[in-house]
Chain A
Amino acid sequence: MDDLAQQLEQQIPRLRRYAMALVGDPNRADDLVQDCLERAWSRGHLFRPGSDLRAWLFTILHNLHANAARRYNSRPTEVSIADDIHTPSTPATQGDAVALNELRTALTEVPDDQRQVLLLVGMEQMTYQEVAVVLGIPIGTVMSRLHRGRERLRNLLGSGKPGNGRRTE
C-alpha cells in the first residue's frame, strides 16, 4: 500500500493537468482529481501491481467524469480552460499565444467524447490502444472520434470564429 501511495502521488500532476483540460474549470478539475484519488486509494486492492497505473487512474477519472456529467446534465464545458491563467496582452511570441488562446476556446466547442480522445492522444500522448482501454471503447471508435474531433478543431480554428457551428453537427 505504501508503494501505491507513492505511485499515486507521482501521477497527480498529469491527472490534474488532464482534468483541467477536460472540464475547463480548475475547481471542478480539482474535485475530479480528488475524487479519483480517493477512489483509487480505497480500491487499491483491485489494482494489479505491474499493470499500468496511469491507464487505471485515467479510467477511474473518466468514469467519475461521465457520472458527474450525467448527474448534472451539464453542458460539455462552461468555462474556458484554465481561465485563471493570466494571458499576457503583448506576448513575446504573439502568433503562438494567440493560437493557443484560440485553441483553448475551440476545445470547449468540441463535444466531450471527441475532446477526451483529442486530449489523451495529443496532450497525454497515449497510444490509440491505451486510449481505447482508458475510455473502454473499441479502437475503431477511438479513431472515428479522433477524426471528427480533429476536423472539428480544424474548422473552428480555420474559421477564426470559434462560436460558429456550435450546434450544426
Chain B
Amino acid sequence: MREQDPVISNDDLHAYVDGALDPSGRARVEAHLQQHPEDAERVGAYQRQNEGLRTLAATLDLTASGTVIRLRRRPLQWRVMRALPWAAAVAGLLALGGVSGWWAHGALNRDASKPELYQLAAGAYRLYTVQQKHPVEVWANERDHLQQWLAKCLNTPFVAPELAQQGYQLVGGRLLSNVSGPAALLLYEGADKQRIVLYVAQSSAWGEGKAAFEAVGDLHTFTWKNGPLWFSLAGNNLSPDMLKSMAQSVNKQELAGQGPSAYTVARHY
C-alpha cells in the first residue's frame, strides 16, 4: 500500500494518530485514508490503542493515589508507603455506579465481636449530626488546631479535607474512642443543612481489609483505607457518585498533606 502512495508514510499515519501533523498534513492523510480503507482501519486501531492506554493511565492513577511517597530523613531516601484496597474499591464502584441494589446491607460482618467501621461511622452519624449546640469539639474556624490535635492523637499526618467541591463545608471535628483505640470524627454540612460525617481510624489498629459500601437504612456509607488511616463516609442517601467523588477528594488531600511533609523534611539538608 505504501508503494501506491509514496507521499504518505507509516510515520505520517502515526503522526496523524498522535496529533503531530499540521493542518495540511492532516488533510493529506485524511484524503489518503478515504482511498485506502485498510490504512483507515489501521489508524482506527492505533487510535483505540491510545484511548485504551489513557484509560489504563486513569486506572493506574487511582492505584497510585493510594500510595504515599515521602522523603525519609535519614538515610536520604524516598519512602513508598502502600495502600491498595482503594483501587479495588474504585474499580468496584465504577462497575456498580448507578445500579440499584448494590449496597451490602451489613451482610459482610466477619468478626461479630468487633464492629465494622461503617457501623461506628453510622453510630457517630446518628449521635452527633442531630446535635445543635455541641456537634463538634473543635470548630472549623480553628482548623489548624483541629488538624494538629487529631494528627497527634492518631499519630500520623492528617488533613481535615475540604469537601466544598461536593457542596459540603467542614463544621468541625472531635476525638472519639473505639474498641481499637483513638478515632476522629469530622462533621460537614451542606447548603440544605444536611450533615455528613467522615470517621477516621488508624490502620495499625484496624489492619487490612477491603473497601466497601454499606447501607444502614437510608444511611449510605463508604469505607476505605488509605495508607495509615481508614476512612468511613456516612450520609443520608448519598449517591455512589457522590461518595466516590468525596473519597477521591479525601485521598487527594491526604496525599497532598503527606507531600508537604516531604518538602519540610527536605529543607533540613
Residues on A facing B (Cβ under 8 Å): 1-2, 5-6, 9, 12-13, 16-17, 20-21, 26, 30-31, 33-34, 37-38, 41-42, 81-82, 84-92, 96-97, 99-100, 103-104, 118-119, 121-124, 127-128, 143, 146-147, 150, 153-154, 157-158
In the bound complex, CA of A2 to CA of B71 (Å):
12
Given that A38-B76, A41-B78, A100-B55 are known contacts, is A86 also in contact with B91, CB under 8 Å in the complex?
Answer: yes
A16's nearest neighbour on chain B, judged by CB, is: B64
In the bound complex, CA of A119 to CA of B61 (Å):
14
Min CB–CB distance A130 → chain B (angstroms): 11
Can you name 12 A-B pairs with beta carbons within 8 Å? A2-B267, A16-B69, A21-B56, A30-B80, A38-B78, A82-B63, A84-B63, A88-B91, A92-B96, A119-B53, A121-B50, A143-B14
CB <8 Å contact, A6 and B94: no
B171 in the interface (beta carbon within 8 A): no
CB <8 Å contact, B52 and A103: yes
Residues on B facing A (Cβ under 8 Å): 10-11, 14-15, 18, 20, 42, 45-46, 48-50, 52-57, 59-65, 67, 69, 71, 76-80, 82, 84, 87-88, 91-92, 94-99, 259, 262-263, 266-267, 269
**Binding site secondary structure of chain B:** helix
Given that A21-B60, A81-B56, A100-B55 are known contacts, is A92 also in contact with B77, CB under 8 Å in the complex?
Answer: no
Q: What chain A residues lie within 8 Å of B67 (beta carbons)?
A: 16, 30
CB <8 Å contact, A96 and B55: yes
Min CB–CB distance B261 → chain A (angstroms): 10
CB <8 Å contact, B20 and A128: yes
In the bound complex, CA of A160 to CA of B78 (Å):
41
CB <8 Å contact, B95 and A100: no
CB <8 Å contact, A84 and B20: no
CB <8 Å contact, B91 and A147: no
Q: What chain A residues lie within 8 Å of B65 (beta carbons)?
A: 13
Given that A12-B69, A100-B59 are known contacts, is A41 also in contact with B76, CB under 8 Å in the complex?
Answer: yes
A154's nearest neighbour on chain B, judged by CB, is: B45
Q: What chain A residues lie within 8 Å of B62 (beta carbons)?
A: 85
Interface core residue of A20, A42, A90, A96 (most chain B CB under 10 Å) = A20
